[in-house]
Amino acid sequence: MLALCALWPALAWAPGPPVALLTINGAIGPAIADYVHRGIEQAGKQGAQLVVLQMDTPGGLDTSMRAIIKDILASSVPVAAFVAPGGARAASAGTYILYASHIAAMAPATNLGAATPVAIGAPGGDAQDEDGKDGKAGKARKGESGGASSTMTRKQVNDAAAYIRSLAQMRGRNAEWAERAVREAVSLSASDALKKKVIDLVAEDVPDLLRRLDGRKLKVSDAERVLKTADVVATAVEPDWRTRFLAVVTDPSIAYILILLGIYALVFEFSNPGLVFPGVVGAICVLIALYAFHLLPVNYAGLALMLVGIAFMVGELFFPAYGSLGIGGAIAFVIGSVILIDTDVPGFGVPFSLVLGLAAGSAAFLFLVVGMALKGHRRPVVSGREELLGSTGEALEDFEQEGWARVHGETWRIRSAAPLKAGQRVRVVAMHGLLLEVVPEP
């Protein structure tokens, strides 16, 4: 039984050499790049003859796109990029990936193009690039016309144009149209892309694609391969736990919530030292959020404004600023949250409604938690050594130096310089270990 289970992955690929199916559905980011990397790597280890990369994407991050393209170019297994199902698109980053693949195919009623890059970050600074979507060409051309930011824009557009042209020349595809897709953000339907030699073929679905690819010769790693895919059923490669984890933490809204949750937990821990649990949770949340921010196109000026805003709101509780610190902190927090992830690419923005909701919740939380901590420090002591000093009690016996008395309902050993009688009222003036020093009450 164990032997059969061990052979099952190999049997699942029958009747011929395997074909792996990877699916990109949505914006291209770190999680998608990790998924494609591991999928291509797994296909190579299992001796696959082809990897089908089925795409439906509006674009994504430049760094993630380039990571996927590097994996495709270095792959020992040919990769067929397939824009499907009907109604799907390979806009922006998807167009680059399509050009980089060994085989480019599309389903009917699909489109590709609009590959103009859009900068993220402060003008003139070290900005991480992001591939735009339809409608970004006007912004790019405006930048090219002149102005302080035009140099950076021209650099990004020229770099992207040269990059996609080199991919087109490598695969023998239409380089002129590829450059227009970058500089003018033009798009093409599946049938027009086939006519202009942007893609290799049009197929209805994955089985139809495999039938059409049967017998095709491809050059991979300086070796020629012949595909035998007519009777092969593509096997889907599912994301592993690491990819799923990346998909969760690199969601901008999740990362945004994690950083706030971590800060709040640490504030609560510092306000109530010794609880430990809030500090542990806060440290974990902050570290995970910082890891996610490292992978995302984060504007660190926005993150700094958020932290300053929280600091101001906390400072309002300690200093008599008559609301100026609190209001200023809330404004800084909202502005920082809005520009934290500065992008228009679908899937990589923080909703404004979430920002306003968490801003209001943050102010309420900080005023409540820190306010309760301050009230706790101002309360009179009700137990311990400090509470006993100055309290009164009653002597339980007659004695001259040491005897017993009842203080706060408890029996204590007491010492008095003056003789005391049973029932006489005394007041505690000092404490020496478990011995109370008292004086008679007037």
- Residues 6 or more apart in contact with residue 119 via CB below 8 angstroms: 127, 129, 130, 149, 152, 153, 156
pLDDT digits (tens, 9 = 90+) for 270-314: 767 777 788 888 888 888 888 887 777 777 788 788 888 877 877
Burial class (CB in 10 A: 0-12, 13-18, 19+), 151: middle
Distance CA 110, CA 202 (A): 10
Distance CA 25, CA 62 (A): 17
Distance CA 281, CA 392 (A): 45
Q: How confident is the model at residue 214 (pLDDT cuts 50, 70, 90)?
A: very high
pLDDT at 215 over 80: yes
Instruction: Tally the residues of the chain.
Output: 442
Q: What is the pLDDT of residue 346?
A: 56
pLDDT digits (tens, 9 = 90+) for 29-66: 888 999 999 999 999 999 999 999 999 999 888 889 99
Q: Which candidate, 42, 18, 83, 60, places its Cα nearest to that of 252?
A: 60
Q: Which candidate, 418, 429, 426, 423, places its Cα nearest to that of 388?
A: 429
Q: Which candidate, 53, 48, 12, places its Cα nearest to that of 35?
A: 53
- Residues 6 or more apart in contact with residue 164 via CB below 8 angstroms: 95, 96, 99, 115, 178, 179, 181, 182
Query: Buried (b) or exposed (e) across 242-269, using 16+ Cβ within 10 A?
Result: ebeebbebbbbeebbbbbbbbbbbbbbb
pLDDT digits (tens, 9 = 90+) for 155-173: 889 999 999 999 999 999 9
pLDDT digits (tens, 9 = 90+) for 55-108: 999 988 888 999 999 999 999 999 999 999 999 999 999 999 999 999 999 999
Q: Is the separation of the CB atoms in 317 and 374 below 8 Å?
A: yes
Q: Please report, rounded to a whole number, the percentage of residues in the chain having pLDDT higher than 70.
A: 78
Least confident of 144-148, 207-211, 361-365: 144-148
Q: What is the pLDDT of residue 125?
A: 38
Average pLDDT value over all residues in the chain: 80
Q: What is the pLDDT of residue 9?
A: 44
Q: Is the separation of the CB atoms in 227 and 216 below 8 Å?
A: yes
Q: How confident is the model at residue 189 (pLDDT cuts 50, 70, 90)?
A: very high
Q: What is the 3-state secondary structure (H, E, C) of 96-150?
A: HHHHHCCEEEECCCCEEECCCEEEECCCCCCCEEEECCCCCHHHHHHHHCCCCCH
Please count the helices (runs of H) and the strands (runs of E) in the chain: 16, 18
pLDDT at 142 over 80: no
What's 275's DSSP letter?
Answer: -
Q: Is the separation of the CB atoms in 200 and 218 below 8 Å?
A: no
Least confident of 231-240, 321-330, 362-371: 362-371
pLDDT at 410 over 80: yes
Q: What is the pLDDT of residue 384?
A: 57
CA 368, distance to chain mean position in Å, is 28
Q: How open is the CA angle 59-65-68, to the nearest 5 degrees?
A: 130
Strand order in the sheet with 201-202: 201-202, 103-106, 79-83, 50-56, 19-25, 235-236
**For the residues 397-417, what does the mean pLDDT come to?**
86
**Single-letter amino acid code for the residue at 207:** P
Alpha carbon distances (Å) from 119 to 116, 295, 297, 299, 372: 10, 16, 10, 12, 45
Helices (H), 172-238: 175-183, 190-195, 206-213
Distance CA 71, CA 36 (A): 8
Q: What is the pLDDT of residue 268?
A: 75
β-strands 435-440, 425-432 pairing: antiparallel
Question: Which residues are registered as beta bridge partners of 82?
Answer: 54, 105
**For the residues 195-220, what does the mean pLDDT come to?**
94
Q: What is the pLDDT of residue 286?
A: 85
**Single-letter amino acid code for the residue at 361:** G
pLDDT at 12 over 50: no
